[in-house]
Amino acid sequence: MSIKPALKSQYHASLAMLREAIDTCPAELWTSDGYTNRFWHVAYHVLFYTHFYLQPSEADFVPWERHRDELNRFEREPGAAAPTPYTVEEMRAYWTFVDSAVDATVERLDLAAPTSGFWWYEMSKLEHQLVNLRHLQHHTGQLIDRLRQHSGRGVEWAGGARPGG
């Protein structure tokens, strides 16, 4: 198998696990202030950056039609009110947008490029895609752990065989 089909497969599997976390998040956890970053905000953050870093470069990025400036980052001014949350339906729509773009976007990447296309990431394009996947998996795991703590329920493994199974 070449690298592009493997990347596509892992993006889709990771996104599937994120989608299940979004779909199964109870309403009270979606906006809970029991965590520094609310569930909805982590979901948006990871979808935004997955979408952003799937692009060949910063110049190629076109934000999602419902993007709100600054919500992709977690930082807020001290004492600032919490932003209006995205709804579960909005996150499902953004998830669908990102997942449906994976195959075509990965196909147009030059994975042999010595630079990432983003000046602040000094690495090859291939390594940058691995970093992007790791970021997606990091935050998806964070949300799954919140679900498990809140309701005792995780999400199903997606993509390939379970380790040891």
Please tell me the predicted confidence (pLDDT) of residue 88.
97
What is the token pair recorded at 47? 């979808």
What is the token pair recorded at 75? 């930082």
What is the sign, positive or negative, of the torsion defined by CA atoms of 87, 88, 90, 94? positive
Please tell me the predicted confidence (pLDDT) of residue 49.
96
Question: Mean pLDDT throughout 7-15?
Answer: 97
Please tell me the predicted confidence (pLDDT) of residue 25.
97
Q: DSSP H helical segments within the chain, as ranges? A: 3-24, 27-30, 39-53, 88-108, 125-151
Integer Cα distance of 51 and 28 in angstroms? 27
| 105-158 tens-digit pLDDT | 999 999 999 999 999 999 999 999 999 999 999 999 999 999 999 998 888 898
Query: Would you say 71 and 83 are in contact if contact means Cβ atoms under 8 Å apart?
Result: yes
Please tell me the predicted confidence (pLDDT) of residue 74.
63
Residues with Cβ within 8 Å of residue 21, at least 6 apart in sequence: 43, 140, 143, 144, 147, 155
Please tell me the predicted confidence (pLDDT) of residue 84.
86
Its pTM stands at 0.91
Please tell me the predicted confidence (pLDDT) of residue 165.
41
Please tell me the predicted confidence (pLDDT) of residue 141.
96
Q: In 3D, which of 46, 42, 50 has the Cα closest to residue 146?
A: 42
User: Cα–Cα distances in Å, from 95 out to 88, 89, 111, 156?
Assistant: 10, 10, 24, 17
Integer Cα distance of 9 and 12 in angstroms? 5
Domain 3-75+84-151 has CATH 1.20.120.450: yes
pLDDT at residue 162 greater than cutoff 50: no
| 39-85 tens-digit pLDDT | 999 999 999 999 999 999 999 999 999 888 777 666 666 667 778 89
HSE-CB at 15 with a 13 A cutoff on CA atoms is: 27
Query: Would you say 109 and 11 are in contact if contact means Cβ atoms under 8 Å apart?
Result: no
Please tell me the predicted confidence (pLDDT) of residue 68.
83
